[in-house]
């Protein structure tokens, strides 16, 4: 019995997915629950596991984008390899002088159909190969390896110019073939191009939409990080011993953001048509950079959480993002976003809104700078703050008030404890 592996539904707004990485090869044996493939969508990565035991075949190429529900592989149950029909002509009827290309059709050799086809097209003798699949089954990968070795030891004719035989039209990709998403250099080699990932396309469309639909304005301020740095140094050891996580800067900024949003409710609001929707909750998005792009998981109910809970949430989201295991619901429903470009060394930037939110805070690198304090020049650890906001709903005075309130909480963190 053959079981179809399909792209699962991962969310109402997700219509397609890209084959990111196969964790099994053509002809491999799989068990129920084995990880088969990682799919990339415009929101999150999704892992597909085997729902049946058997041998996997007909794998869709990595980099291919397909609609939800599309078949991307098949699992033949109850056998070491997919069922294989013998060659129409019996071996005994083969004429004298038949080349080794006929050997791959010998049914006494255990090989997957894909391996047999590739062996036939590449003039590889299956009987001379050792299978690495279950029960010694020869897989497509085994044939590709043999084909590569054969090419490297053959005559010095250039590999890219194959003989104009049926092998030139082989249905299976050559060993060196790249997935659809791989970079393809031009003839001169001076440039290359590859298809944008679904996540990168979503980010691009999202940012362009934000620029086109909102009246984005950015205002700046700066804060002295001395008090927070001193506090962290004094309590870090006890904090870690008690909570199992380090006390970072982000939890202070999350709590300070909540205080500022309470002081300026218009920033905790959004425009819906001709109406203004004010949020009475404080779910804060924290931007996290991954190899595949920027994602913004949401920390829920930050007004009710302590510093340790916020730090643990950030760690959990960062680990999930790096492993490609972020859930779609983790990215939805935020009322405000914090982006920390300082971890990359950014001194100053103008962050773009995350629609439909009306505000985003940009944190930056901490820099020792000379500051005037009580008429004297003092070297202090300073950070620039940037608040981008939707000027349709937030006035300049409110934006400045927000940053001043946040600055007060950062420079005097005791305010966060007593809500003063």
> Could you give the residue numbers annotated as active site?
391, 395
Residues in the chain: 420
15, 68 in Cβ contact below 8 A?
Answer: yes
> 220, 384 in Cβ contact below 8 A?
yes
What's the chain's Rg over C-alpha atoms? 29
Cβ-Cβ contacts under 8 Å for 332 (sequence gap 6 or more): 298
Could you tell me what percentage of the chain is helix, strand and coil, using 3-state DSSP and rounding each to the nearest 5?
35, 25, 40
Q: What SS3 string covers 295-362?
A: ECCEECCCCCCCHHHHHHHHHHHHHHHHCCCCCHHHHCCCCEEEEEHHHHCCCCCCCCCCCCCCEEEE
Strand extents, DSSP E, 25-121: 29-30, 35-40, 45-49, 54-57, 65-67, 71-77
Q: Are strands 71-77 and 54-57 parallel, antiparallel or unpaired?
A: antiparallel
Token representation of residue 153: 């030891």
User: Are 307 and 375 a contacting pair, CB within 8 Å?
Assistant: no
């Amino acid at each position: 019995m053959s079981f179809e592996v399909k792209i699962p539904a991962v969310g109402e707004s997700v219509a397609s997915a890209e084959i990111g990485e196969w964790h099994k090869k053509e002809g491999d044996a799989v068990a129920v629950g084995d990880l088969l493939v990682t799919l990339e969508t415009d929101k999150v990565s999704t892992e597909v596991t085997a729902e049946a035991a058997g041998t996997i075949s007909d794998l869709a190429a990595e980099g291919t984008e397909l609609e939800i529900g599309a078949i991307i592989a098949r699992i033949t149950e109850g056998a070491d390899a997919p069922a294989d029909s013998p060659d129409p002509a019996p071996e005994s009827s083969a004429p004298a002088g038949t080349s080794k290309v006929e050997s791959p059709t010998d049914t006494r050799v255990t090989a997957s159909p894909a391996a047999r086809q590739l062996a036939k097209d590449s003039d590889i003798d299956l009987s001379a190969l050792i299978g690495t699949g279950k029960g010694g089954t020869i897989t497509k990968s085994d044939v590709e390896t043999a084909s590569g070795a054969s090419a490297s030891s053959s005559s010095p004719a250039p590999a890219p110019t194959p003989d104009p035989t049926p092998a030139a039209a082989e249905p299976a990709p050559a060993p060196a073939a790249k997935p659809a998403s791989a970079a393809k250099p031009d003839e001169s080699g001076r440039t290359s191009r590859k298809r944008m990932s679904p996540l990168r396309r979503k980010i691009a469309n999202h940012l362009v939409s934000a620029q086109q639909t909102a009246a984005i304005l950015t205002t700046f301020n700066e804060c002295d990080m001395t008090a927070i740095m001193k506090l962290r140094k004094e309590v870090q050891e006890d904090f870690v011993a008690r909570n199992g996580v380090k006390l970072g800067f982000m939890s202070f900024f999350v709590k300070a953001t909540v205080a500022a949003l309470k002081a300026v409710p218009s920033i905790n609001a959004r425009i819906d048509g001709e109406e203004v929707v004010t949020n009475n909750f404080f779910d804060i998005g924290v931007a996290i950079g991954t190899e595949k792009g920027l994602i913004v998981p949401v920390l829920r109910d930050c007004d009710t959480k302590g510093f340790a809970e916020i730090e643990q949430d950030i760690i959990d989201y960062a680990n999930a993002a790096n492993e490609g295991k972020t859930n779609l619901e983790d990215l939805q429903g935020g009322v405000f976003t914090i982006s920390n470009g300082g971890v990359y060394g950014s001194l100053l930037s103008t962050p773009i809104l995350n629609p439909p939110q009306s505000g985003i805070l940009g944190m930056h690198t901490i820099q020792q700078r000379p500051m005037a304090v009580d008429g004297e020049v003092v070297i202090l650890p300073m950070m620039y703050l940037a608040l981008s906001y939707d000027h349709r709903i937030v006035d300049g005075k409110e934006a400045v008030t927000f940053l001043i309130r946040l600055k007060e909480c950062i420079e005097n963190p005791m305010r966060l404890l007593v809500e003063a």
